[in-house]
Structure 1
Amino acid sequence: MVSAHRLAICFALALALLTGAVQAESAGWQQYKSRFMMPEGRIIDTGNHNVSHTEGQGFALLLAVYNDDRAAFDSLLNWTNKTLYRKDVGLYAWRYDPTGKPPVTDKNNASDGDTLIAWALLLAGDKWQQPSYTKASEKLQTAIAKHNVFSFAGYTIMLPGMYGFNRNSYLTLNPSYFMFPAWQAFYQHSHLKVWKDLDTDGRKLLSQMRFGAPKLPTDWVRLLADGTLSPSDGWPSRFSFDAVRIPLYLNWGNSNPPELGPYVAYWRQYDRLSTPAWVDVLTGAKPDYTLPPGLLAIRDATLSDKAQITDTLAPNEDYYSSSLHLLAYWSIR
């Protein structure tokens, strides 16, 4: 016989689910964890020899918050802090290779990964009313501003990492690291001018990164001291797997901001399932393969084709595509 107490608990849970007080995990998040999250809280990049990096840890921390999965959040955070955190600068080493001896050889940070982690911590502190998460976010925000934010050519800029991107006469930028929704959240929390300046100047810079016939930014961009912008010499001049995140972040929490114009115009040229995965903005070259599901989800969100975006991952979808797929899904919720 079922006790009255147990019946009361079942009724309370059912009512909570109906009213939204308890949030069930999405199917996609369950798939994501089973494919990419190791028991210790490490996210593996299945398209890159199962290495891990702060980008992946940050993506997963953010998804854990959106799925109200505090157990996964703590596991992810504990591994990241234990394995990648640098006490000397308050940032994270960007890459972990399980086959390396030692697994962490490059102590440089990746500012997008650090920003994702700080953003997830800020959201987690609010969602679960946990001040320790909020304080950790504030500490990380301070370190990002100290070590990665520069004034150059009249702009406030977040460099991709502490080392290797400031060449004095020019900077190397990755515009997919322009984390607009995170910067806005940091500003709303702290009211520190640096985050508002990054948001404002990041949009100004993007408005001038309209290269070649497609009028799109490239994955990596060079900024000269006089303000001149061009595709970076060190990488292919492609709007590709990095730069595709730009419209995702521009559109996050917004309703068709005007900055989406170039991406909308480019993607509208193609049928949904025949859109090439990248384009060389200078030569017009394109690959003979189309957008994988995660990039396709960003395209759909950008074109307001929301009905196409589900929280179910494709059977063979790898880590990066799956991450973008679920981020695009949550960005429009």
Structure 2
Amino acid sequence: MRLSLRSLLHHGIRNCVRICIGSAALSLSGLSFAATAGNCTSWPAWEHFRQQFITKDGRVVDHSGSIKPTVSEGQAYAMFFAMAANDQTSFKQLLHWTGNNLAGGDLTVRLPAWQWGQRADQSWGVIDHNSASDADVWMAYSLLLAGDIWGNASYSALGSLLAQRVLREESLDLPGLGFSLLPAPHGFDLGEKRWKLNPSYVPLQLLRWLAIKEHDLRWQQMAQASFRLLIQSAPKGFSPDWIIYQTTPSGRASFSPDLNGAEKGDGGYNAIRVYLWAGMLHAQDPERSRLLRHFAPMAALTEQLGYPPEFVNIQTGEAKNPGSTGFSAALLPFLSSGQHSKALQQQTLRIQANGIRPDAYYDQVLALFGLGWQEKRFAFLPDGRAEFAWQAAACH
């Protein structure tokens, strides 16, 4: 059964890529096309992800780790994908498992723990009770959106409570930067006016819509500070995984590479999402053009190498190791939006040649975002709200 599923997944990704080649060509020529019947009725890549990585009770499992971990990010992403597939059953199961296992049974009173799995004593449960703010933002956003599109008031209420808790527990007004998202409630205020931040945690489209939906100016302020973070943390056009923000007694603010972290200041598995989020911004987003121009060196490096690097030195642009085809999929929206036609063709062909590893959780997530956007299964509007192909009139 496992071999059959892998074969199906590989075949499904290849079919997705064939669709994406046409989509990319149409996008680059300035044309648009309506959602196909296939887009309206099914999403094979989501079905394969659901079968491979989601248990019957709604837990997203990363099979690559020895502890078979579940992270809150995976739960939140899967909820968004379930919405894109109009899969209300999976959405409900994912939400219930998250509340019951990551939030002590009640998401209305606490943020979800970021990691769950097999502990050292062989028992199963929460491994790290600290929350992850990127997951919490995606979860609040998805709940609020699901409340609207499926007419579920409880989802809307829970999403609003989570959004309020993110502002209260995971955010801080940083001197010289503004109201900013900390990666978690604990461990990222380093003292002496130094903070550790993650640029991939702040998709601008999500912050924009939360500002509108929640009628809270702090989300708008966070979007402004996050744009500054994205630009100033990547002086050469390469985003870091993690960055240190600091201010001096005189008030001078600066960013510096996180040389003490595991990535030694490089951009890799976190940073790849920065280009992904930027590429999926609507053409009318006020910051999209500048972000695409600022990160153009990543597109140029990818074209030069023929693949996105697994890690890149943000100060020198030195590449380290080829990134996976999941990285290639993550770059498709960025390369398409930035009109990098040669690099776009290279990465599309690379995915078609190799497929996406069917047993790699993170690669599959990146592919669902990148290929899903290319196939027009979802899009983000100017105000940040996501719109799905199945909502189109032709789908009803």
Q: TM-score, normalised by structure 2?
A: 0.73
Percent identical residues: 24
Single out whichever of 316-325 and 270-279 deviates more from structure 2: 270-279
**Counterpart amino acid of residue 184 in structure 2:** G
Q: Is the 8 A contact 1:90 1:139 kept in 2?
A: no
Q: CA deviation at 1:102?
A: 5.1
Would you say how many aligned residue pairs link Structure 1 and Structure 2?
Answer: 313
Aligned position for 2:381: none
Aligned position for 1:165: 188
C-alpha separation in 1, matches of 2:233 and 2:258 = 11
Unaligned 5+ residue runs, structure 2? 1-34, 377-396
**Counterpart amino acid of residue 243 in structure 1:** A
Q: CA deviation at 1:97?
A: 1.1
Aligned position for 2:323: 291
Q: CA deviation at 1:25?
A: 2.5
Alignment equivalent of 2:93, drawn from 40, 51, 75: 75
Aligned position for 2:302: 270
Aligned position for 1:133: 155
Q: CA deviation at 1:160?
A: 0.3
**Counterpart amino acid of residue 106 in structure 1:** D
Whether 2:249 is the aligned partner of 1:238: answer: no
Q: CA RMSD in A?
A: 2.6
Q: Does 1 or 2 have the higher relative contact order (CA < 8 Å, sep 6+)?
A: 2
Alignment equivalent of 2:50, drawn from 4, 22, 33: 33
Q: SS state of the match for residue 157, structure 1?
A: strand
Whether 2:360 is the aligned partner of 1:318: answer: yes
Whether 2:284 is the aligned partner of 1:261: answer: no
Unaligned 5+ residue runs, structure 1? 1-17
Q: SS state of the match for residue 172, structure 1?
A: strand
Aligned position for 1:105: 127
Whether 2:211 is the aligned partner of 1:179: answer: no
Q: Is the 8 A contact 1:47 1:320 kept in 2?
A: no
Q: Is the 8 A contact 1:221 1:230 kept in 2?
A: yes
Aligned position for 2:110: 90
Instruction: Rate the CA distance shift 1:247–1:114 in 2: closer, same or farther, 3 A.
Output: same
C-alpha separation in 1, matches of 2:190 and 2:234 = 23
CA deviation vs aligned residue, 1:302-323 (integer Å, no higher than 9, x gap) = 1116783999963535100110
Q: CA deviation at 1:115?
A: 1.0
CA deviation vs aligned residue, 1:278-307 (integer Å, no higher than 9, x gap) = 21224654333x222221122221111678
Instruction: Rate the CA distance shift 1:229–1:19 in 2: closer, same or farther, 3 A.
Output: closer
Q: Is the 8 A contact 1:25 1:69 kept in 2?
A: no
C-alpha separation in 2, matches of 1:121 and 1:30 = 21
Q: TM-score, normalised by structure 1?
A: 0.86
Q: Is the 8 A contact 2:331 2:370 kept in 1?
A: no
Q: CA deviation at 1:85?
A: 1.1
Q: SS state of the match for residue 92, structure 1?
A: coil
C-alpha separation in 2, matches of 1:199 and 1:241 = 22
Whether 2:219 is the aligned partner of 1:195: answer: yes
C-alpha separation in 2, matches of 1:173 and 1:319 = 24
CA deviation vs aligned residue, 1:44-83 (integer Å, no higher than 9, x gap) = 1133332001000011000000110001111111100100
